[in-house]
Structure 1
Amino acid sequence: MAGRTGRLTPPSLNVASPDCAESFFAGRFPRCVTLHHASSLPDLRHVLTTATWPPGPVFLDLIGHSTRGHHLLRLGRTPIDMLDRHVAAFFTTLAADGVLDRHNVVAVRLLGCQTAVTDPARRTLRMLSRTLRLPTYGTLVPLLKTHSDAGGLSPHFAHVLAPG
């Protein structure tokens, strides 16, 4: 998959909150064809440890609606907020267990509406990056169906991402 710069873009393991998955990716023209569902952090852990991962370097894309106000990505009812001790402990354990390292994850992307716009959202991206020892990205704009293709976030829209 070639991006705007002509470089190859790693495939993604796409994990979506069920409350957005069907409305966002289904319809007359289905988008992302390989979509896993997680409505909580335990569900996310289950997906990460049981999914068939793409070979080689891979992005981990967490997809969901963002919270009002702070624009933190939500998996089910759980906002990914690194100031929440349960959320921080989950990602600390995930890093310590080496789950993402074993699957050659090169970046984590929080794909929801404007997940890199507010101070709390950018703080979470930075803290998540430090915890996982991986680059993290959020979005600068509201995401639309057209931002996705069969593999997930289209590489043509990499410019809507901002690093944590």
Structure 2
Amino acid sequence: MTIPSLNVASPDCAETFFAGRVPRCVPLHRASSLSDLRAVLTTAAWPTGPVYLDLIGHSTRGHHLLRIGHTPIDMLDRRVAVFFAGLATDGVLDRRDVVAVRLLGCQTAVTDPARRTLRMLSRTLGLPTYGTLVPLLKSHSDASGLSPRFAHVLASG
């Protein structure tokens, strides 16, 4: 069984990475901030049944933390930790039947800070959380998001 994804991308990544002659990741929502991300999570049309929440963006240079707009997803940043704790408390992801969160950016599971964020995010949300071991390319995606053929490039914290 293939689990569908809700794909939410930082606009700086969405336009350059997923557009082009061969569009990738067609059902793509955009979020340029954490408040935009919350709005997408609470109002977007979702696939039915179990779903992956795929957050897509560029990663920061040194620590390889996924960025949504200008905000790195760093669970040591109080604003970020409070945001995700609020999602958990409000049951936003539970109501949508999210089974895992995937931070899809270049090497978001490689550095110690990136793995720490994955572990902390997983504990906060009560869900498996994954990052990537390699730089992502357009070829890793198909029309629905990250291609299941490339599950091997994902790792948990």
d(CA) in 1 for partners of 2:156, 2:79:
23
Once superposed, which parts of structure 1, at least 4 consecutive aligned residues long, lie more than 4 Å away? none
Aligned-residue offset at 1:163: 1.1
Question: Which of 87, 90, 112 is matched with 1:119 structurally?
Answer: 112
d(CA) in 1 for partners of 2:45, 2:22:
25
Percent identity (aligned): 84
What is the TM-score when the length of structure 2 is the normalising length?
0.99
After TM superposition, the structure 1 = structure 2 runs for residues 110-149 of structure 1, keeping only pairs within 5 Å, are 110-149=103-142
Indicate the SS of the match to 1:36.
strand
Please tell me the root mean square deviation across aligned C-alpha atoms, in Å: 0.4
Indicate the SS of the match to 2:131.
strand
Matched, 1:50 2:50: no
What is the TM-score when the length of structure 1 is the normalising length?
0.95
Question: Which of 4, 8, 23 is matched with 1:11 structurally?
Answer: 4
Question: Which of 75, 96, 100 is matched with 1:103 structurally?
Answer: 96
Match of 1:38 in 2: 31
Query: Which sections of structure 2, spanning at least 5 residues, go unmatched?
Result: none
Aligned-residue offset at 1:107: 0.0
d(CA) in 2 for partners of 1:32, 1:58:
15
Aligned-residue offset at 1:32: 0.6
Aligned-residue offset at 1:9: 2.2
Equivalent residue letter for 2:120: M
Aligned-residue offset at 1:121: 0.1
Matched, 1:72 2:45: no
Query: Which sections of structure 1, spanning at least 5 residues, go unmatched?
Result: 1-7
d(CA) in 1 for partners of 2:62, 2:79:
21
d(CA) in 2 for partners of 1:38, 1:18:
7
